[in-house]
Structure 1
Amino acid sequence: MKQLIECVPNFSEGRDEKIVKQITDAIQSVDGIKLLNVDPGKATNRTVVTFVGEPEQVIEAAFRGAKMAAQLIDMSKHKGEHPRFGATDVCPLIPIANISMDETVFYARKLAKRIGAELGISVYCYEFAASTEERQSLANCRAGEYEGLKEKLQNPQWKPDFGPDTLNIHSGATAVGARNFLIAYNVNLNTTSVRRANSIAFDVREAGRVVREGDPVTGKIVNDANGEPLRIPGTLKKVRAIGWFIQEYGIAQISMNLTDITVTSMHQAFDEVSERARDRGIRVTGSELIGVIPLQAMLDAGKYFLRKQERSVGIPDAEIIKIAVKSLGLDELSPFDPKKRIIEYLIDDQQSKLVDLSLSGFSNETLSESPAPGGGSVAAYVGALGAALGSMVANLSAHKRGWDDRWDEFSDWAEKGKQIHDRLLKLVDEDTAAFNAIMDAFGLPKNTDEEKKNRSAAIQAATKHAIEVPFEVMETAYRSLEVLQAMATTGNPNSLSDAGVGALCARTAVYGAYLNVRINASGLADKTYSNEIILRAKGILEKAINKESEVLLKIEGKI
């Protein structure tokens, strides 16, 4: 599964379009990088750039952007309203898909080390990448700004994590961090009162509201023993919020920054604001997402509302996202297009895929004289159909009248089947890509001894991958038999035949993929590996045949 990281560097230039363009061109010069947004600010004299890609691509692009900024931006002449201490002022990395925060921290520190070593810039690591608790705060790292940097670097407590401990007069310093995804999110209210909106914002935001003597608005602020304002904390962690009036829409909103959606998600914030608004006689009418959002956040929201309705979550992603959009009212103020607002959809490559073909298109492509798609891709697709049938029976069972107390049990089965189905669909194209990689390897030049050696190595590597893909098809399709057996045992009796067809598909997928493992293994020079994986494949095939027989016997007995 492709790992994705978002990077949001802030460059200390927001007025000269030519400089900004040279920096973003440097970022985009890395293959595989998708530039999502460029937001220059004249008053702040600062540009926020957002791009996304795989980890190594991202840190290469970030480095190139920082290098160009170091060449073009002179911090000794910089003025702007926003706090800053470097040409590339901050550069956070944010995990988006299939990557942990610990892995993201590794790449952040790798980037920081390279900026320090190759560009001669002092680098502080912040948030999750911080080396000390004090440095977790970006504000602490940037305290004193550019003007106080020379003195700060002489303080042993503020020795940079990477790079020189002397001032780079031209480029200043840079803060490189790893943080969770931040969502800018507004909730719409059926009121025009900013005061009422602010009251709700104070109810929910982490900072809450200050305590005042007497009148809660005009009264004197009450301080604690340390002289700091005493506060009543809000109900939502990692949330900043204010109320404001939007002239364009003629309504008040709660404007929020969800600074860590692993702590407070968009749907949790929406529901909490709805509850607090209701307490004040106000109704939430919808909401507005600013910018983009990870796919998982939308899926989590859709599943949250489906579960509240006691409905199965084992349905296609498009349907889950539709539920999220409607439940949150994301389309109240303007149309919400998932393809333009969800990061993974924005960066999805536009290359044609087998799974995007129509049924007849896929069949005709298989029918053609091209050797791909072949049996491996067809086996994966048949397996996906089998898993889909298992989830279908589970979904029908979850909605069966009189079975309301069991909806969550069947929803779990449906979701498991859907995950298997989704992976097998991806393996349809992966199998064809693996075959094409072998053909490409055979097409490499072989005129010199070195070329022959490289060609042979490429063929063996491609062949090994072409074994691993159908082997994964076997493992994945076999797991669908567990879902199908459960549905044959406890599922809707009117759908027994569907579970039976699903079992037949699963067994066909396992057997078909097994044949591909065997034929590809014959071309592998590493016989120890090929013999071992064939033995494992035989074990999976035998279990699949036995499991299919159990499922069909149960179905035959019930019919």
Structure 2
Amino acid sequence: MEKIIECVPNFSASDEKTLKALTRCFEKHRVLLGYESDIDHNRAVITAAGKPQAVLKALIETVGVAVKHIDLNAHKGAHPRMGAVDVIPFVPIKNITKEEAVLISKKAAQKISQKYGIPVFLYAHSASSPNRVQLSDIRRGGFENMAAKMQSPEWKPDFGPNIPHKTAGVAACGVRDFLVAFNINLDTNDLRIAKKIASSIRESNGGIKGLKALGLELKSKNIVQVSMNITNTKSTSFFEIYQTVKKKARNFGVEIKNSELVGLAPMRILSSSIKEALKFDSFDDDKILEYLLWDRH
């Protein structure tokens, strides 16, 4: 049976020339599903999926393009980052175990460090120690402080030199579960409001289960954003998150301007939102015609 793995690398760039060069590698190997970028985040997310070998080849080539085009010394953006190729998540999709995916992530990390001299930390299910499971712990301090951080034995990279690449920084690579990036833009430019809402809804502060959140400024739009990662798509829904943010925003006298999905999302989180919003007695993926036909064929 054919094995399918997903790879969702995040790049610290948003200009069209760089994006075209990055996506061309995945297109060449016929594994590109889509990509999105944001000028304020100064970041791009590419989604690829296919046979492991094809995805791996495309990824290694794309990292080379990133090293050539991205210089973090000149990079400015609202989103935290530590590398030109900031994070490389793998997700097992079909006929592939988590253990097999971890081996692929380690192979990718090794090849990237050997070919381009980029230090790579293994994270999530691939992590080599408990303090490296969470991406935020690895990335804390950002590119500017990573050289000093890596002098500690605790933060020696899993692959590559013990000093950041001079322009490409460092990378994190590993296997994770489905993660959905969901952003809500507020109709205000008061960053304090976005940060307060983000702090109150994230799981680590007793908020919504499986939710990570940051308050960010979108200077080009003169608004602020509650930027979120949903790490457990079985425990929450878009609707629950949206309603919670709307209520908290109104407590500050602010309305939601719009929301956005970054990348792709599994059907189950969309289904759960439909069920909650429309108050269906029951609703699952089998109620969606296209999904049912696809599943049977």
TM > 0.5:
yes
Instruction: Please identify which structure carries the higher strand content.
Output: 2
CA offsets, 1:174-218, max 9 Å, x none? 11122111235699xxxxxxx9xx99x96x86345xxxxxxxxxx
- Shift of the alpha carbon at 1:68? 0.9
- Name which of 32, 35, 41 aligns with 1:34: 32
Task: Please tell me whether residue 153 in structure 1 is matched to residue 150 in structure 2.
Answer: yes
CA offsets, 1:280-322, max 9 Å, x none? xxxxxxxx98353335x379869x99xx969xxxxxxxx9636
Q: Report the CA distance shift for 1:55/1:114 in structure 2 as closer, same or farther (over 3 A).
A: same
Percent identical:
34
Q: Report the CA distance shift for 1:206/1:86 in structure 2 as closer, same or farther (over 3 A).
A: closer
Task: Please tell me whether residue 17 in structure 1 is matched to residue 48 in structure 2.
Answer: no
Partner of 1:165: 162
Instruction: Give the secondary-structure state (helix, strand or coil) at the position aligned to 2:203.
Output: coil
Q: Whole-Å Cα distance in 1 between the matches of residues 162 and 70 of structure 2?
A: 20
Partner of 2:189: none
Q: Report the CA distance shift for 1:238/1:27 in structure 2 as closer, same or farther (over 3 A).
A: same
- Which ranges in structure 2 are unaligned for 5 or more consecutive residues? 185-192, 215-225, 248-258
Instruction: Give the secondary-structure state (helix, strand or coil) at the position aligned to 1:99.
Output: coil
Instruction: Give the secondary-structure state (helix, strand or coil) at the position aligned to 1:22.
Output: helix
Q: Whole-Å Cα distance in 2 between the matches of residues 125 and 147 of structure 1?
A: 20
The answer on whether the counterparts of 2:9 and 2:88 sit within 8 Å (CA) in structure 1 is yes
Q: Which has the higher contact order (CA 8 A, sep 6+)?
A: 2
The answer on whether the counterparts of 1:96 and 1:181 sit within 8 Å (CA) in structure 2 is no
CA offsets, 1:203-249, max 9 Å, x none? x86345xxxxxxxxxxxxxxxxxxxxxxxx34x5213579xxxxxxx
The answer on whether the counterparts of 1:10 and 1:88 sit within 8 Å (CA) in structure 2 is yes
Larger-gyration structure (1/2): 1
Partner of 1:258: 230
- Name which of 49, 60, 76 aligns with 2:73: 76
**TM-score, normalising length from structure 2?**
0.70
Q: Report the CA distance shift for 1:40/1:258 in structure 2 as closer, same or farther (over 3 A).
A: closer
The equivalences for 1:425-444 within 5 A come to none
Q: Whole-Å Cα distance in 1 between the matches of residues 213 and 74 of structure 2?
A: 34
Task: Please tell me whether residue 3 in structure 1 is matched to residue 3 in structure 2.
Answer: yes
Look up the equivalent residue of 2:171 and give its one-letter code.
Answer: T
The answer on whether the counterparts of 1:180 and 1:261 sit within 8 Å (CA) in structure 2 is no
Task: Please tell me whether residue 107 in structure 1 is matched to residue 104 in structure 2.
Answer: yes
When the two chains are superposed, the root-mean-square deviation of aligned CA atoms in Å is: 4.0
The answer on whether the counterparts of 2:210 and 2:236 sit within 8 Å (CA) in structure 1 is no
Task: Please tell me whether residue 238 in structure 1 is matched to residue 202 in structure 2.
Answer: no
CA offsets, 1:427-464, max 9 Å, x none? xxxxxxxxxxxxxxxxxxxxxxxxxxxxxxxxxxxxxx
**TM-score, normalising length from structure 1?**
0.40
State how many pairs are aligned: 256
- Which ranges in structure 1 are unaligned for 5 or more consecutive residues? 188-194, 209-232, 243-253, 278-287, 311-318, 326-336, 346-418, 427-559
Instruction: Give the secondary-structure state (helix, strand or coil) at the position aligned to 2:56.
Output: helix
CA offsets, 1:526-558, max 9 Å, x none? xxxxxxxxxxxxxxxxxxxxxxxxxxxxxxxxx
The answer on whether the counterparts of 2:38 and 2:44 sit within 8 Å (CA) in structure 1 is yes
The answer on whether the counterparts of 2:233 and 2:269 sit within 8 Å (CA) in structure 1 is no
Q: Report the CA distance shift for 1:22/1:255 in structure 2 as closer, same or farther (over 3 A).
A: closer
